[in-house]
Amino acid sequence: MHGLKLNAFEAAMLLTFMAQTFLVSSIQNCDDNSPVTKTKYGEARGTIMKSRKGKLFAAFKGLPYAEPPIGELRFRAPKEIVKWSGIRNATEEPPVCIQQDFLFNRSPTVEGSEDCLYINVYSPKQFCRPRKIAKLVPVLVFIHYGAFIAGDSRSDIIGPEYLMDNDVVVVTFNYRLGVMGFLSTYDDEAPGNWAFKDQVAALKWIQNNILFFGGNKKKITIAGQSAGAGSVHHHVLSPSSKGLFQSAITMSGTALGLWAKPATNENFIVTNITALSVGCNRSDTKSMVECLRNVPAIDLVNAVNVFRQFLKSEPLMPYSPAIEQKSEKNPEPFITEDPINIIRKGNFHNVPWIIGVVSNEGILRGAPFVRQEDLLDKINSDFDTIKSLIGLSLSIDPSKVDWLWSHVKDFYFNSENTINSTNSITGLVNLYSDRAFLYPAYQTIKLHKRMGHKHIFVYNFDYKGKYSYGDLFAATPNEVDYEWGVSHCDDLLYLLYSPGRFSKYQLPDLDLKVSEYMVSLFLNFITYRDPTPKQLFGEKQLWEELPDEQLYLNEEDFHFLDISGSFEKGFYHVNITNGFYTPRMKFWENKPLLENKYFNNLTSIK
């Protein structure tokens, strides 16, 4: 038999054909309820789900992406899993990572398991059909919210049904939380950032396995909300994540938020207090960590109660990201310097990026502070409590904290010292919005653009639908006479199906239209790297990226997509506008904050 000679084009076509044929044969034994797929580690049997519009798709839940981080693997980087034999059952929700969920509960119990590093993959149904050559589709990887202390990937919380009306693979997963995800000794014994390293392990698993599910590993978008969004930004900055994704979406969170930035000395202090609270020797970090590895998980998670300083609703988030040192024992650190320095050096992954916020992010904490009577009494009896709750001491020289607080009170509360009016509630919500979410987003956008980041799209979500996470964050049936706005997490209601959060959950017609619009924007971005691409919209693009090659992004050039309206009032609008909360952003921009020191006369430090 003579050797077959192919030119470059023919060889490429043959390889494509072989890959696609391999894809089709990878999901085997499909029937109406139980598709089977290969993975790098073994075979797995999933189940069939229906999208919002009735399209069938395959769901593989609870696939392990790393060895259980228990025993000697606690406080260590995730370890690659070993192959399994037989067909693994992938039809049930995985266990959540061990946690106390203070976001939606006043006095939460410890729930979940240390054995929790599992991934869920949702694949279009047509990939189950044998002998049909199919095109690889884009992949959306969604990283769950939860303030780094709570949350999970269950399909009734972050369900894929809205997205799966389309040809896309959706992936969700769990990652370690709280003390298990972030405890650090600032040395090689426990360098920290376990949660982020779990996420990197999940992204590597996706690179190695997504072909089996019909996904294109060269078209991966990572997305997240709140803590998930902060995580996504850290991946944009970390060399550990290089090549693992091609575009990013951050909803209400960036790595410049005070809650997402790596701490300095505070982490080691927190670790020492944790060790003391569970009876571990603190004479040296090696023996301390060895002891902590043997403490029952429930006791370690309960140790967060040592740090609670505001009644039962506002625990501190003591376990935070850490700056690591590269060493022989820690060869792949996730964060090695302050995020602002990474950006100033231009050492970020310059990928297309959607950055979004909602209009009343601060309802996250404003709702419980106002609607829970004991918390409101606490604030009104000592109004300066707010000063510590918003972390002013983290942003300015200690000698200037009171000076800054007096300016904050004047600007947000008109110098009032109680929360007892519509204006004061609005001031509280706006203050928390700006400190935790809006100003960090504003800084992130301006700094990345100034350092040459291309293809950034910004949105503001101000549509008030039938459902709202604000009622869940309040954690009380008690009402107050106040018209609450669009809460932190509310934009998620239109992208991910969440019947586990709301009873009798079904979007009314207007909310459904908003949802279909949001899904279409995100699917366009996942597919084309542009939410309103010229391939579909021609020259009449609605949502354009921010301009390039400007040292300073002026307010008139700071344009964004604004989605507004009200279910009760029966309308929604979509507009391009500019001026991103300008008076409030200028208030913080003009103060001598530590996070502002690089924004005046900014130069690259390459």
Residue 572 scores a pLDDT above 90: yes
| CA dist., res. 180 & res. 74, Å (int) | 7
Q: Are residues 330 and 357 in the same domain?
A: no
Looking at 324, 344, 364, which one is the last position of a domain?
Answer: 344
- 222, 139 Cβ separation under 8 angstroms: no
Same domain, 109 and 240: yes
Q: Is the pTM of this model over 0.85?
A: yes
**Stretch among 9-13, 70-74, 141-145, 403-407 having the lowest mean pLDDT:** 9-13
pLDDT for res 108:
87
Q: Same structural domain for residues 393 and 472? A: yes
Instruction: Answer yes or no: are the C-beta atoms of 295 and 261 closer than 8 Å.
Output: no
Residue 18 pLDDT level (bands cut at 50, 70, 90): very low
163 lies in a domain? Answer: yes
One domain for residues 312 and 390: no
Is residue 407 among the annotated active site residues?
no
User: 375 and 251 in one domain?
Assistant: no
298, 316, 344 - which closes a domain: 344
**Residue 602: inside a domain:** no
- In the chain, % of residues over pLDDT 90: 75
Does the annotation count 349 as an active-site position? no
Q: Has residue 246 been placed in a domain?
A: yes
| Beta-ladder partners of 63 | 119
Q: Is the pLDDT of residue 293 over 90?
A: yes
- Are 380 and 305 contained in the same domain? no
The gap from C-alpha 73 to its chain's centroid, in whole angstroms, comes to: 25
Tell me the per-residue pLDDT of 88-113, one tens digit each, with 9 for 90 and over.
999 999 999 999 988 888 888 999 99
Same structural domain, 373 and 310: no
Tell me the pLDDT tens digit for each residue of 27-39: 555 565 788 999 9
Q: Are 485 and 464 in contact (CB under 8 A)?
A: yes
**Quick check: is 226 catalytic?**
yes
Instruction: Identify whether 3 is part of a domain.
Output: no
User: Alpha-carbon Rg of the chain, whole angstroms?
Assistant: 24
* Number of independent structural domains in the chain: 2
Classify residue 605: in a domain, yes or no.
no
Beta strand 215-225 with 247-251 is parallel
Tell me which amino acid residue 254 is: T
- Indicate the residue among 325, 344, 363 that finishes a domain: 344
Asked whether the predicted pLDDT for residue 602 surpasses 90, the reply is no
CA distance 170 to 122: 5
For residue 312, pLDDT beyond 60? no
Instruction: Categorise residue 577: left if φ over 0, alpha if ψ from -120 to 50, beta otherwise.
Output: beta
Residues 57 and 130 in one domain: yes
CATH number at residue 469: 3.40.50.1820
- Residue 606 forms part of a structural domain: no
Question: What string of DSSP letters covers 96-109?
Answer: PBSEE--SS-SSPP
Q: What is the pLDDT of residue 439?
A: 96
Same structural domain, 398 and 300: no
Give the model's pLDDT for residue 541.
Answer: 66
**pLDDT of 25 strictly over 70:** no
pLDDT per position as a tens digit, 510-551: 999 999 999 999 999 999 999 998 777 766 768 989 988 555
357 plus 340 within the same structural domain? no
Q: Are residues 317 and 439 in the same domain?
A: no
Q: What is the DSSP letter of 120?
A: E
**Which residue shows structure tokens 């995020």?**
339
Whether 329 and 335 have beta carbons less than 8 Å apart is answered as no
The pLDDT-based confidence of 205 (bands split at 50, 70, 90) is very high
Whether 41 and 153 have beta carbons less than 8 Å apart is answered as no
Between CA 530 and CA 289 the distance in angstroms is 46
427 and 292 assigned to the same domain: no
Catalytic entry in 26, 226, 247, 320:
226
301 pLDDT above the threshold of 50: yes
Give the number of other CB atoms < 10 A from CB of residue 266.
Answer: 15
| Mean pLDDT for the stretch of residues 136-165 | 95
Task: Name the active-site residue from 235, 453, 488, 559.
Answer: 488
Residue numbers of the domain that contains 489: 353-596
